């Protein structure tokens, strides 16, 4: 896929450039140094091939995302039991709608399974739990939260990679600036991919030469299947706890209840 090669090539250049100048920027735990950090980051990104037009569009009016920091610092781990988690997520509704969508998109799911080895069930389970099958993908412009989290001292390196990836997506034309909205940590699209995963695992499912996980369900589902395949999914093997493909599901989300929910909901859809 030519678009994927373009993204990966640009990614390599940006990461190399970032490694050479990372000490020039000072992280911070409040907004006081944010503007200076962004100015230094822009220099690094420009030197590595991001155009001024892209930087101006994405970061020209970016501001410190106070709400993102508050949310990030007050996240609570999954404390619900497995049964409570299924109920809160609306497992029965996801199963019912998932079965219907599987029938309606049978040809698409056949093509995806032939290409990646991943059946419809777990893909529909993830799709349903992440965004209600694309019903709500988030409405927060991603560059403010990503820049803020990259500047923050706790996980700056990780989120700088995400910010860089988001700029690559925009510059490559995969998504427009208006499409680049998501959740609190910059997750994008119907499957809520972080930008670096979007670049690494994005797959063109509808054959138009672009990866658009926002408006193309074929791209979103194909990219998720590609992600699971990269995490070791084996065609034809089981995906329940203790079976070979459950490890690939564990690569999607670290929470045990989430992993088990994907496996259970997927199996009910695949019946």
Question: What was the pLDDT predicted at 79?
Answer: 81
Question: What was the pLDDT predicted at 22?
Answer: 44
Q: Is 269 left (phi over 0), alpha (psi -120 to 50) or beta?
A: alpha
CATH annotation of 2-74+139-188: 1.10.8.350
Question: What was the pLDDT predicted at 74?
Answer: 82
Biggest distance spanned by C-alpha atoms of the chain: 55
Q: Which CATH class is domain 82-137+201-270?
A: mainly alpha
Residue ranges of the chain whose pLDDT lies below 70: 1-24, 76-77
Question: What was the pLDDT predicted at 12?
Answer: 52
Bridge partners of 28, per DSSP, are 152
| Cβ proximity of 186 and 145 under 8 Å | yes
Give the start-to-end residue ranges of the domains of the chain: 2-74+139-188, 82-137+201-270
Distance of CA 65 to the CA centre of its chain: 19
The per-residue pLDDT for range 179-235, each reduced to its tens digit, is 999 998 999 999 999 999 999 999 999 999 999 999 999 999 999 999 999 999 999
H-type helices in 22-155, by residue range? 34-47, 52-59, 66-73, 82-89, 91-104, 106-116, 120-131, 143-151
| Cβ proximity of 137 and 181 under 8 Å | yes
Nearest to 147 by CA among 65, 218, 246, 51: 65
Give the whole-angstrom CA distance, residue 214 versus residue 134: 8
Give the whole-angstrom CA distance, residue 222 versus residue 116: 8
Count CB neighbours of 270 within 10 A. 16
DSSP-based three-state secondary structure for 188: strand
**DSSP 8-state assignment for residue 23:** G
| Cβ proximity of 37 and 1 under 8 Å | no
């Amino acid at each position: 896929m030519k678009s994927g090669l373009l993204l990966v090539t640009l990614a390599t250049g940006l990461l190399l450039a970032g490694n050479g100048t990372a000490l020039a920027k000072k992280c911070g735990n409040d907004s006081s140094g944010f503007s200076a950090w962004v100015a230094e980051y822009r220099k690094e990104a420009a030197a590595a091939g991001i155009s001024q037009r892209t930087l101006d569009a994405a970061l020209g009016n970016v501001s410190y995302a106070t709400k993102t920091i508050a949310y990030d610092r007050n996240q609570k781990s999954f404390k619900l039991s497995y049964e409570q988690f299924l109920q809160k997520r609306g497992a029965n509704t996801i199963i019912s709608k998932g079965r219907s969508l599987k029938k309606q998109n049978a040809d698409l799911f056949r093509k995806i399974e032939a290409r990646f080895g991943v059946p419809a069930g777990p893909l529909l389970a993830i799709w349903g739990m992440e965004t209600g099958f694309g019903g709500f993908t988030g409405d927060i412009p991603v560059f403010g939260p990503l820049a803020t989290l990259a500047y923050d001292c706790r996980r700056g390196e990780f989120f700088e990679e995400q910010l860089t990836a988001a700029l690559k997506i925009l510059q490559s034309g995969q998504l427009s600036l208006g499409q680049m909205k998501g959740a609190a940590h910059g997750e994008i699209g119907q499957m809520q991919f972080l930008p670096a995963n979007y670049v690494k695992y994005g797959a063109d499912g509808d054959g138009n030469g672009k990866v658009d996980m926002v408006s193309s369900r074929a791209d979103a589902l194909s990219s998720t299947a590609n992600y699971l395949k990269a995490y070791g999914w084996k065609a034809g093997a089981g995906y329940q706890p203790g079976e070979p493909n459950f490890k690939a599901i564990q690569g999607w989300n670290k929470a045990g209840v989430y992993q088990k929910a994907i496996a259970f909901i997927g199996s009910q859809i695949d019946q």
